[in-house]
Structure 1
């Protein structure tokens, strides 16, 4: 039996209409899962196959075959409605990926209190709402379930320009360890600590940032969204059946410390 075969399993991905979330949703769908994605606005194009004669746009293939539920998961009632919708459509919920998140870049000294609150609400409180609703279903299933938090390296080191975001992601990582302890053994909860990811519109995809990433990340590049998705498949699978309360770094080796810049450059020259 293929441990990465998710046939018959139901998966929910928040923020699954684009970027990393769309890649995660597509990966689980390709592995056989029934997938429900959510977002505050419907995806374009909608997650349904095109007419046979239609020529799909470049953004369409990742969404074909997925079901969509419109929700703002910062609202606990809407977060609960999302999980209820998955149960109504699929009869169960096996995997939930708390992917929705993000932040504009703004110095902490100039950001408004309202912006700080909204960033923390989206990146920390909303995943808790979704996780609570999912646990209520999973704990009554014979096979339990898996909840994955999409964290960030911003929560593990200083995050100038996105201080509230970094603090929220640090809190998310701690939240996962607490939920893993409370909800074991039926529900496993883990975090992916994600570094720069090359998706359209991200800072890592712009030419100046891409060059910086290549110089500072040991792997020499940003991650592809599909590589984050593959890590989710692993942690949600029986291969990770004894892994809970853990944080998996998906960051290409992290970042070269600034004080080792000369050593890094010397090592590169020696290899050439």
Structure 2
């Protein structure tokens, strides 16, 4: 159980929407934002039971939360998701674009549906939710958007061409939207996790418990989802008030090297 602070947190009085918030990194982010005092809308596409568990955990610790179903790859559903968040929690101050999927495979055997599905959810969801929320955030002349990208968007890896391309698009979109929204008091940043043991990267870490991957990380350890969540909460808070357009890696140093150890 994640205990909320006794004193008001740094996000007290704010409302956050976390897409893909029912599991993995999204779940950890929802709990971290709640621990900092935010009311949290936990978005999910198919994991209703998991989303309900996240909401229950937040409420049991004294916070406010609601589970909201939506496929963020669909613009109309993203619009409705933002509207429901505002209606049910009384506002919106923080948007975390986290929803994502992976369809790993070699480029030679990848079909059009494999790259298109990944792009629609990963980049499309980020675009759709940002577009849906920006009018409200601009109107109140304050807000923070945090996009959950990946070090894959800045580097390369075998079998990750579609996923890496979607994250590279998110990185470019983060910079451009940060420039457009800065004059309205809305900050846009991205978190670039390295390898964290979630369902999304399960295939990469399946071989020998991921030892081959771990050897190529300078800190010789995978990221914990809570570590990614804490950086996200920082970017969402006033502690990062002068940061926008930043891409923050949380990867144990992986992006700083070309590769170490034996090839995978």
TM-score, length of structure 2 as denominator length: 0.87
2:218 alignment partner in structure 1: 218
CA contact (8 A) 2:96 2:145 kept: yes
Judge which range, 150-159 or 72-81, deviates more.
150-159
1:145 alignment partner in structure 2: 143
CA contact (8 A) 1:28 1:233 kept: yes
- Which has a greater percent of helix? 2
Change (3 A) 1:49 1:257: closer
CA contact (8 A) 1:13 1:35 kept: yes
1:101 alignment partner in structure 2: 100
1:257 alignment partner in structure 2: 258
After superposition, the C-alpha distances for 1:225-270 in whole angstroms (9 at most, x for unaligned) are 0000000111111111010001001111115434x549xxxxxxxx
SS at match of 2:171: helix
1:208 alignment partner in structure 2: 208
| Greater C-alpha radius of gyration | 1
Change (3 A) 1:48 1:200: closer
How far did residue 210 of structure 1 move?
3.0
Gaps of 5+ in 2: 1-6
Over the aligned positions, Cα root-mean-square deviation in angstroms equals: 2.4
SS at match of 2:220: coil
How far did residue 46 of structure 1 move?
5.2
SS at match of 1:164: helix
SS at match of 2:231: helix
SS at match of 1:100: coil
How far did residue 205 of structure 1 move?
5.5
How far did residue 48 of structure 1 move?
6.0
Task: Within 5 Å, give how 1:20-169 maps onto structure 2.
Answer: 20-45=25-50, 47=52, 61=57, 66-142=65-141, 144-169=142-167
Change (3 A) 1:201 1:126: closer
Gaps of 5+ in 1: 51-59, 263-272
Separation in 1 of the partners of 2:53 and 2:168?
A: 36
CA contact (8 A) 1:4 1:234 kept: no
Separation in 2 of the partners of 1:261 and 1:118?
A: 33
How far did residue 4 of structure 1 move?
5.3
1:54 alignment partner in structure 2: none
CA contact (8 A) 1:199 1:205 kept: no
Q: How many residues are aligned here? A: 250
1:241 alignment partner in structure 2: 241
How far did residue 3 of structure 1 move?
9.6
CA contact (8 A) 1:24 1:232 kept: yes
Separation in 1 of the partners of 2:53 and 2:125?
A: 27
Separation in 2 of the partners of 1:72 and 1:45?
A: 16
Change (3 A) 1:49 1:99: closer
1:184 alignment partner in structure 2: 182
CA contact (8 A) 1:48 1:63 kept: no
